[in-house]
Structure formats: structure tokens, C-alpha cells
A and B are shown apart, each in its own frame.
Chain A
């Protein structure tokens, strides 16, 4: 055991105890797909108008230029490099979630891609094994039993919830790459971290343009898509929801009432 761990033995025990205790509380209830709590809608809509303008005047044109000027394999390499540097942060959260299998999986991926994958430019780990078990501190809080809270649209960062906004701040603070990688190298990580979203903006341009510029109410459309997709990620693909009346866990479909049966007048 390293000296530092022995010296901080008490605090390590406290942190482990706290983690086990919090995970034991069980995950928070996931609201049905069409439930939206948005008490800050007026402010959120202002942030949305700002974000849309930012996309229209800056992000979209830069992403188009990047996508057309830089060949696809190079963009893919930069995005792989950025994704690889996300893995240590995933591992921190995997451990806090007591998902130790995923922690090992992400660690193995990081080691394989950082070495055989030439510093993360290639992604051989996905070819030989499972893809990344992506996560964040918002998910950790969900597993500890914190509900999503009100919907938020943050300037620049985009859609979130109160819980996930806290998660984003903690993820930046706990990011091992930011903490441990020294000055010149950490800038490559930052650069790739800016180029990766531009690559996504270019690749999914049709879908993103559809939501932002071709829908009747782009704010409502983005809010609905974000909440549905976020709850899906956190549900781990299962259908279990908590009945708001009884508090019981049930495999009831959250969208069951969505479908209007025309054959049952």
C-alpha cells in the first residue's frame, strides 16, 4: 500500500463508506418521456435564443469549414484523441458509481488506445472489445438518488438539468487529464476537445439543423429531445420506472398513455 494511502487511511475509509452508502440508496426515479418541469422557461428561452445565434453566426460556419477543409480520417483521428482523454474521467465516475466492471473496461480501453492506438489517434480498443462506457458526474448523482430537477438551457453549453449542471462543474474539477497532464500537452487535449464537437456538428448537420432551424418551436424541440435522450441513457435501456402514486418499481411503459387508439372509440 502506498504511504499516502496509509497516511490518509481514515479519509479513504470515509470516502469508500460514503460511496457504498450513497449507491445503496438506489437510483433516482426517471420521469416519463413526456414529463417536463421547466420553471425557468423565460430565462431558458433567452439562453436558447443566444445559443441559436451563436450557432448560426459562429459554430455552424466554423464546423462546415472544418468538415469540408479537413479530410474525414484526420477529423476522426482528432475526435478519437479527444474521446480517449475522456476515459480517465469516466473511470473516476465508474468507481464512484461502484460500477467496477465498467471502470476496468474503460481503463483497459485507455491503455490500449494510448499505446497501440498511437496516443489515442486510433481506436483499436473498439475493434477488439466493448465500446466506451460513457458516463459523467450527473449520472453518478442519479445513481446516488438525486432526481434531475428543473430543465436548464445553459449559454454556450446547451441543454441540461439542475442536477446535470452540477455534474458538469464537478466533472471539470475532477478531470484527471486537467489535473495531472502538464502545461504544453494539456493544450493538445483542450484543442481536440474543441474540435471534436465541431466534427459532430458537421456530421449530424441535417439533424441539428432540423431541430434548430426547421422546427416550429426549436426551444421546445431541443428540450424534449434532450430530456428523452438523457433519461434513456440513465435508464440503461431498461423500462423500469417508479410509480409516482405508490412509489413502487414497475416495468410499466412510461409512454403508454401517449398512444391514442383510434380503434377503441
Chain B
């Protein structure tokens, strides 16, 4: 695979355009089209493949993963979705604190797991429109075992195409982490600030 700068530049352009137009134009029901979503996932796949096969130290890999998240993931949506109903009554400050803590936690936890993918490659298979978002299906080829199916869910509600979830063999990161964060909320009497502090040292 060759990765020129063109797709990302095009994405930035599309994103900027969408962000600029959004206050004046009503949002269409299917805001992101399959081509745009696929281009985003190709870019993310290229970045992840490069990071896991770079041979750099774990801490550098995790830092690079966090950059991928801040560039291509819709973190406000992911943070609220893993908090679930608790996010609706949360203060803006609590939400900001949780989002930044969760981004670091996600980079550490999933960044370390991606080590199992070393030597593998990611190929985009197809995209399908699911109504609120486009799902891009990729196949991760691993050494010494069968391929894995990884799906990215992409929307552009923020004004730019971003992924809101990833599903590894059908296991959704958002649903899995909502369970985890739900357990931590129970343990901390529903206090989002305490949960944010707890996950800063986890993952």
C-alpha cells in the first residue's frame, strides 16, 4: 500500500467545507457518504499499520495511537456514549475531564492490544450505510491465525468525518467500555470526576 498525502488533504478540505457550511445549511439525514467514510478508514488503517509495524517502543506507540484518536475519532460522541445516560445530566467540565481521561485510557488499553496485530495488514472490504452512520468493513490479516473482521462506524455530525466506534469480530468498543464505565460509576456513586481520576491510572 502506498499512502500519499492526498487523501488526508482531501479529508481536511471536505471537513473544513462541511464545518463552514453547517451553520447555514440544514444537515441532511445521511450526512457522510460511503466514499468519504472509506477514505477516512483507509487513512486510519494506514496510520495504524505504520504504527504497529514501526518497531518503536510501547510508550511511543501508545502516544502515536492517541494522536490517531484525536485526529480521526469523534471523541465527544464516544465519551458521551460510554457514559450512557449519566452524560445527559453531567456538567460541561465533568464531560471535558472525562473525555480527555478516556482518550488516554483508550490509547493505552487498545494500543497495547494492537501488539497482537504486529506483522499484520488491514484491508478495506466494503462500506454500508446504516442510516445514522456509514459502516466500513475491514479485514485484518494476522500471522499464524485466521483473519479478523474489524468494522469502523463513521459519521460527520461534528462537521468532519470521524469514527464513533470500532467493532472487532462484532465486539463493539463503545458497548464494551460502557459496561466497564458503568461498573466504575456504580463503584463511585455516580461521580464522573472520580471515574475520570480512576481511569487515568488504568488501561
Contacts and interface: CB of A to CB of B under 8 A. Distances in A.
A201 to B, nearest CB: 13
Contacts, number: 106
B172 A255 contact: yes
A210 B187 CA distance: 19
Given A225-B171, A231-B170, A259 B130 contact: no
B94 interface: no
A229 B171 contact: yes
Contacts of B80: 260, 262
Interface string A33-50: 110000000000000000
A33 B178 CA distance: 12
Contacts of B170: 33, 228-229, 231-233, 235
A166 interface: no
B131 A256 contact: yes
B175 A228 contact: yes
List of 5 A-B pairs having minimum Cβ-Cβ separation, nearest first? A232-B170, A217-B183, A216-B183, A260-B80, A253-B130
B76 interface: yes
Nearest to A259: B81
A133 to B, nearest CB: 11
A207 B88 CA distance: 31
B130 A263 contact: no
B172 A33 contact: yes
Most chain A CB atoms below 10 A, which of B76, B128, B180: B180
Interface of A: 33-34, 72, 76, 126, 131, 203-204, 206-207, 210, 214-217, 220-221, 224-225, 228-229, 231-233, 235, 237, 239, 252-253, 255-256, 258-264
A258 B132 CA distance: 11
Contacts of B158: 263
A259 B132 CA distance: 10
A231 B133 CA distance: 21
A261 B183 CA distance: 22
Interface residues of B, number: 46
Contacts of B183: 215-217, 220
B112 interface: yes
A217 B182 CA distance: 9
Given A76-B144, A221-B176, A204 B130 contact: no
Contact of B165 (A126, A131, A229, A259): A259
B77 A259 contact: yes
B174 interface: yes
Contact of A261 (B77, B167, B203): B77
Interface in B114-173: 115-116, 128, 130-133, 135, 144-147, 149, 153, 157-158, 164-165, 167, 169-172
